[in-house]
Amino acid sequence: MHMHSGKYEGLDGGRRGRLFSSHMKKARRKDGKDEKEYALKQIEGTGISMSACREIALLRELKHPNVIALQKVFLSHSDRKVWLLFDYAEHDLWHIIKFHRASKANKKPMQLPRSMVKSLLYQILDGIHYLHANWVLHRDLKPANILVMGEGPERGRVKIADMGFARLFNSPLKPLADLDPVVVTFWYRAPELLLGARHYTKAIDIWAIGCIFAELLTSEPIFHCRQEDIKTSNPFHHDQLDRIFSVMGFPADKDWEDIRKMPEYPTLQKDFRRTTYANSSLIKYMEKHKVKPDSKVFLLLQKLLTMDPTKRITSEQALQDPYFQEDPLPTLDVFAGCQIPYPKREFLNEDEPEEKATAGGGGAGVPPNKKPRIGPYGANSGGPVMPSDYQHSSSRLNYQSSVQGSSQSQSTLGYSSSQQSTQYHSSHQTHRY
């Protein structure tokens, strides 16, 4: 761990601000030894929270092409701030999907290419399989946390980010009531959590991936629901369950036998009527978006969005699904050699109100408890001082997973770690973990 080194400075004229919920800056080495751009994430608050400790500890151990690489950790003793240095990714799925949703709103619909959707899903599953094989649950998967690299040696590579909610699950699982009141953004939250499940399982990440998959196919959040932005220890959320049932139909007893054992099942019986959703089904919903029920893409989506978590497909099974074995095959570069039409991730001046985030079409694509922050940083926006080490700142290949022919968790793609052995010099005392 380093303290306030002097080799890097911020891009964009020293502007500061937040990318979603954290202070984030783009940075580059001052000494010019490489032209690579990095992302500096300043942990919210003073000192190191338990959530930050989890993120730091996990990221220092995780090494996979589809999991964001933590390069360095900086600690400023003077103001008790902690900065994490990551590889910089120019894009994320929230902005990519928003781009396509806007094209529909402008009467010039342009769907995500199906080959791109397949490559994105495959890499997300490969990264999550690695996490799950190493006993890590992400617990907060959503489009904003799925980054995609821009131009460069890792062009079009998916990077799973924001591990703040992640936890190891090889130790005894804590009851959910002992953890964060709101963990998974509601729209991507598995039904068992909404019905009061006592423990997390890998299946909650799989449900979230199913939601992301549907959103990539339709450019719309499949379980979009208006609800107040609150934190509560009560896991039962009527409106969110209503939205899920409106799309999926009410689960039949034979399809989810253990639903009767869920803590909130009595509330479910009291508040809902099965007949209300008699005409609802995932088949009908996806047919409206021109996805045929006998297609391999639909059959995989159905397996990911299985109501019963014990019957939900695993990441390993999903990677071996026939969907990924038909042409076009998944690629390392999700943009597959094409020009990238998407704008880079946007930032918000800290002095600007969050309400500006919803201007210009936030609408249905904006989760209620995670408003996107948009617009450039102002030069005088204030915010914490960043480590002074930093200045602000494609060929088509078949993608082979570690799962194919092996149960190993490490990727077989042959990538070297992005950790660097760069020497840092500073007049200040330097600390290393």
| Per-residue confidence (pLDDT) for residue 22, from 0 to 100 | 54
Percent of the chain exceeding pLDDT 70 equals 68
| Per-residue confidence (pLDDT) for residue 75, from 0 to 100 | 78
Distance CA 59, CA 53 (A): 10
Most confidently modeled of 45-54, 191-200, 344-353? 191-200
Decide: helix, strand or coil at residue 354.
Answer: helix
Q: What are the chain's domains?
A: 8-89+372-392 (3.30.200.20), 92-325 (1.10.510.10)
Which residue has better confidence, 111 or 425? 111
The pTM score is 0.78
User: Is residue 417 predicted with pLDDT exceeding 80?
Assistant: no
140 is catalytic: yes
| Per-residue confidence (pLDDT) for residue 240, from 0 to 100 | 95
Is residue 390 very low, low, confident or very high in pLDDT (cuts 50, 70, 90)?
low
| Distance of alpha carbon 36 from the chain centroid | 23
Strands of 46-160, DSSP E = 70-76, 81-87, 91-92, 136-137, 146-148, 158-160
The set of residues, in sequence order, having a beta carbon less than 8 Å from that of 33 and lying 6+ positions away, is: 422
Which residue has better confidence, 57 or 257? 257
Section 216-241 average pLDDT: 83
User: Is residue 361 predicted with pLDDT exceeding 90?
Assistant: no
Judge whether 412 and 406 are in contact, CB under 8 Å: yes
To the nearest whole number, what is the mean pLDDT of the chain?
76
Residue 170's φ and ψ, nearest 5 degrees, are -85, -15
Is residue 227 very low, low, confident or very high in pLDDT (cuts 50, 70, 90)?
low
| Per-residue confidence (pLDDT) for residue 44, from 0 to 100 | 66
User: Is residue 370 predicted with pLDDT exceeding 90?
Assistant: no
Section 99-124 average pLDDT: 93
Is residue 426 very low, low, confident or very high in pLDDT (cuts 50, 70, 90)?
very low
Bridge partners for 8 per DSSP: 29
Is residue 159 very low, low, confident or very high in pLDDT (cuts 50, 70, 90)?
very high
Lowest mean pLDDT among 50-64, 97-111, 226-240, 315-329: 226-240
Handedness of CA 14, 152, 140, 409 (dihedral sign): negative
Is residue 323 very low, low, confident or very high in pLDDT (cuts 50, 70, 90)?
very high
Section 361-375 average pLDDT: 45
Section 41-54 average pLDDT: 71
Nearest to 127 by CA among 217, 34, 62, 201: 62
Exactly one of 140, 162, 205, 321 is catalytic; which is it?
140
Section 49-78 average pLDDT: 82
Most confidently modeled of 33-37, 269-273, 344-348? 269-273
Which residue has better confidence, 25 or 324? 324
Which residue has better confidence, 227 or 216? 216
DSSP 8-state assignment for residue 94: H
Is residue 276 very low, low, confident or very high in pLDDT (cuts 50, 70, 90)?
very high
| Per-residue confidence (pLDDT) for residue 38, from 0 to 100 | 87
